[in-house]
């Protein structure tokens, strides 16, 4: 699987997918990690980590340059 990274410019957030796709409602549990909501981990009902949402303020510009812009 090729890692997919999306970048929501308006929200100032990047999402790193750890699976090919996340169906609506599949992420049933979110865990906030870090100070000031620096990261939100999304888990499915079986406890598998689906993806990670990160604040762009803490990311290297090179990652933002290759991310798919969605907003």
Residue-range definition of the domain harbouring residue 38: 23-56
**Looking at per-residue confidence, does 29 or 71 come out higher?**
29
In order, the DSSP letters of 2-47 are --EEEEETTTTEEEEESSS---TT---EEEEESGGG-EEEEE-TTS
Q: Is residue 49 part of a domain?
A: yes
Look up the pTM and report it: 0.81
Length of the chain: 71
For residue 66, pLDDT beyond 90: no
Q: How many domains does the chain have?
A: 1
User: Shortest CA distance to 37 belongs to which of 63, 62, 56?
Assistant: 56
For residue 3, pLDDT beyond 80: no
User: Token pair of 22, please?
Assistant: 């996340």
Q: Is residue 67 part of a domain?
A: no
17-60 pLDDT, tens digit each: 999 999 999 999 999 987 766 899 999 999 999 999 998 877 77
Contact indicator for 50, 57 with CB cutoff of 8 Å: no
pLDDT at 16: 93
């Amino acid at each position: 699987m090729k890692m997919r990274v999306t970048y929501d410019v308006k929200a100032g957030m990047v999402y790193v997918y750890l699976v090919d796709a996340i169906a609506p409602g599949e992420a049933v549990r979110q865990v906030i990690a870090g100070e000031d909501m620096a990261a939100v981990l999304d888990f499915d009902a079986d406890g598998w980590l689906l993806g990670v949402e990160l604040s762009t303020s803490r990311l290297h510009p090179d990652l933002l340059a290759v991310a798919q812009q969605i907003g």
